[in-house]
Structure formats: C-alpha cells, structure tokens
Structure 1
Amino acid sequence: MIIEYIRYVIPADQEQAFLSAYRDAAAELRGSEHCLDYEISRCVEDPASFVVRIRWGSLEGHLQGFRKAASFPSFFAKVKPFYERIQEMRHYASTDIAGAGGGASG
C-alpha cells in the first residue's frame, strides 16, 4: 500500500469550486480497483490549505493502473483547474509506528 498526499493552497473564492471538483472526481476514484480510499482535509489554522490523501494498493497501481485507465482523463479534467495550486504531490509508505490513542473507541 502507498499513500499519496497532495497539498493545495486554495484561495477563498475558489474553495467551493475546488471541493465540488473533487466531489465529482471521486466517482473515478471509487471506480478504480487501485484506489483503497481517499479523503480531503482542510487546515483549521490556515483554511486555504487542503490535503488530499489517497491510499493506493501500490505505486504501480496508481501510476500504471489508474493513470493509464480510460477514466483518468475524466478525473484529471475535473481537478486540472487547481493543478497550479499544488504545493506538494508525493507518495509515502507507512512505517511500523502506528496505533490508536487513548481516546479511540472500540
């Protein structure tokens, strides 16, 4: 499994269009066998900062599977207007350091 993080800075007058674009683009993510899950988070201290987190089954599944799939042009067309707002777009591997905190239920 690999985690893709995309950090954006989105001006206030574009935030609704940005969120709407990703809501629409989520259809392609949901339809991809390579995408495990995804989420968009917004920074509390700096509301113009957003992080898109996508978990892929593998780096190859993302780059060779999803990006070469017939659905990718549709996905990219939806988010492309915000491409220049990207601050970082990288893939990360999890480490062995993880766990639930004391406030986690279950």
Structure 2
Amino acid sequence: MILEVAILNIKSGLAADFEAAFNEAQKIISSMNGYVSHQLKKCLEEDDKYILLVTWKTLEAHTEGFRASTEYRDWKKLLHHFYEPFPIVEHYVEVESCNNKA
C-alpha cells in the first residue's frame, strides 16, 4: 500500500467553498482503479490548511492511473483553483506500525 500525502493551503476565505467542492471531488477519486481510502483533515492552528491522505494499492495507481485519466481533469477543475501555493504531493510506504493503546 502507498500513502499519498498532500498539504493543502487554501486561498484565504475559501475554506467552506473548498470543502463543498471536495465533497464532489471525493466521488471521483474513490471511483478510481487502485484507490483504497482517503481522509481530509482540517488543521486546528490554521483555518485555511488541510491535509489529504489517500491510500492507493500501488504508486502507479495514483501517478499513472489517476493522474493520466479523464477523471483527473474533472478533479483539477473542481479543486486546483483553491490552492495557494500549489501543494507538494509525496508518497510513503509503511515501515512499522503499532495499534497498541497502552
């Protein structure tokens, strides 16, 4: 599994509009081949800052499958105009995990 991580800085005052657009956009990404799950989290310290976490089966499912798809054009149209600056997207693999609530 691959974790895609993007820190999203939204133009000031557009957070509610971004969240509404993301509600539509998440239907696009969740329908893609190789998609597993996603979470959008809002920063407590900065009103216009979010983190998007998307789990993919493979790196290629995101970089080649989703980004090369016609659906990605719809995703871009819904969301990309909200970002300032444009987010850096990184991919991570699990090294170790612990689910112990000790």
CA RMSD, Structure 1 to Structure 2 (Å): 1.7
Over residues 83-103 of structure 1, what are the superposed CA-to-partner deviations in whole Å (9 max), with x where a residue is unaligned? 43345321111112332324x
The 8 Å contact of residues 8 and 87 in structure 2, kept in 1 or not, is answered as yes
Aligned partners of 1:67 and 1:11: how far apart in 2? Answer: 23
2:98 aligns to what?
A: 98
Are 2:48 and 1:60 equivalent residues in the alignment?
Answer: no
The 8 Å contact of residues 2 and 55 in structure 1, kept in 2 or not, is answered as yes
2:23 aligns to what?
A: 23
Which structure 1 segments of 5+ residues have no match? none
Mapping of residues 21-60 of structure 1, within 5 Å: 21-60=21-60
**TM-score, structure 2 as length reference:** 0.86
Give aligned-pair identity as a percent. 21
Total equivalences in the alignment = 102
The 8 Å contact of residues 4 and 90 in structure 1, kept in 2 or not, is answered as yes
Which structure 2 segments of 5+ residues have no match? none
Aligned partners of 1:23 and 1:5: how far apart in 2? Answer: 18
Aligned partners of 1:68 and 1:87: how far apart in 2? Answer: 18
More helix by share: 1
**TM-score, structure 1 as length reference:** 0.83
SS in 2 for 1:85: coil
Which amino acid in structure 2 is aligned with residue 22 of structure 1? F
Change (3 A) 1:83 1:9: closer
Aligned partners of 2:53 and 2:18: how far apart in 1? Answer: 15
Which amino acid in structure 2 is aligned with residue 89 of structure 1? V
The 8 Å contact of residues 3 and 93 in structure 2, kept in 1 or not, is answered as yes
